[in-house]
Structure 1
Amino acid sequence: MKNNKLVMIMLILLVAIALVGAVAIVMVLNHNGQDQTAEPTIDEVLEASVDIPEITTNLAENAFVRISFKIQTDSKEAKEELEKRNFQVNNIIILELSEQTAETLKGKEGQMQLEETLKTRINEVMQDGEVEKVYITQFLLQ
């Protein structure tokens, strides 16, 4: 009878220790997963970004724009692909700008919409990664 109680106490302790260990493992794994989804450092952003030199093009009306961009990708491989696709990116930018009017590009909302449109259109041609963000780095509307 005493042996049964002792065996039962040992089993309960083993189960409790196993549960504490399992909870600890789950917490450690979740904590490591959060670190991987953290925002990249500025150095990592710059390593995966491509500068698009100044482009001057006509808009849909009697106006033109001089504009340049920095495009942030999700990896170094995507950056390399984007550099090779420079002619396609320039084409996409010129085509999108040719549909814009000076009025739509004047405000913050219009420029943010252009950035999102370019991101979507460039991602359509990307194969080894994707564009995370498009930044307008210079902008002159005349």
Structure 2
Amino acid sequence: MKNKLLTIMLIILVSITLIGVVALILVMQLNKGEEDTAPTIDEIVEASIDVPEITTNLAGNDFIRLSLKIQTDSKEAAEELAKRDFQVKNIVIQQLSEMTAEDLNGKDGKATFENALKLQVNELMQDGEVQQVYITSYIIQ
């Protein structure tokens, strides 16, 4: 009787330990996968292109001079975007020609411009997509 009870308790303890080890391994594997999804700064720079300074008229009597950095989702997408630089400049100029200095005022105005640019450039892309558009320099006169 005692021997049988001891065997049952030992089986239960081993089962609980195995379940705990399996659960721990699963949690560690799931957390490992989440950490790898965020790109490093080196990967972001590698997948980005610079749009050199552009000077153009706004919808009002003002003109703007700005530079951009466009982040893509891969190095291949950045290479494609670099080849499409003339199309990107055209989109920037067209977008800005319909905006006034007031449209670009503040954080929200710049974010609206960046998002509109991102959507229009993504329509051009065949390999990959634009993740983010950054304004790196900006002057309105």
TM-score (norm 1): 0.85
Q: In the alignment, does 2:100 pair up with 1:98?
A: no
Deviation at 1:13, TM superposition (A): 3.0
Q: CA RMSD in A?
A: 2.0
Q: How many residues align?
A: 141
* 2: CA distance, partners of 1:22 / 1:107: 52
Cross-structure match for 2:30? 30
Structure 1 runs (4+) greater than 3 angstroms displaced? 1-7
**For 1:57, what is the secondary structure of its paired residue?**
strand
Q: Percent identity?
A: 55
Q: Which runs of 5+ in 2 are unaligned?
A: none
Deviations for 1:61-113, whole angstroms, at most 9, x for unmatched residues? 22221111011112212211211221221121111111101221233321121
Deviation at 1:114, TM superposition (A): 0.8
**For 1:61, what is the secondary structure of its paired residue?**
coil
Cross-structure match for 1:17? 17
**For 1:50, what is the secondary structure of its paired residue?**
strand
Cross-structure match for 2:85? 86
* 2: CA distance, partners of 1:7 / 1:84: 72
TM-score (norm 2): 0.85
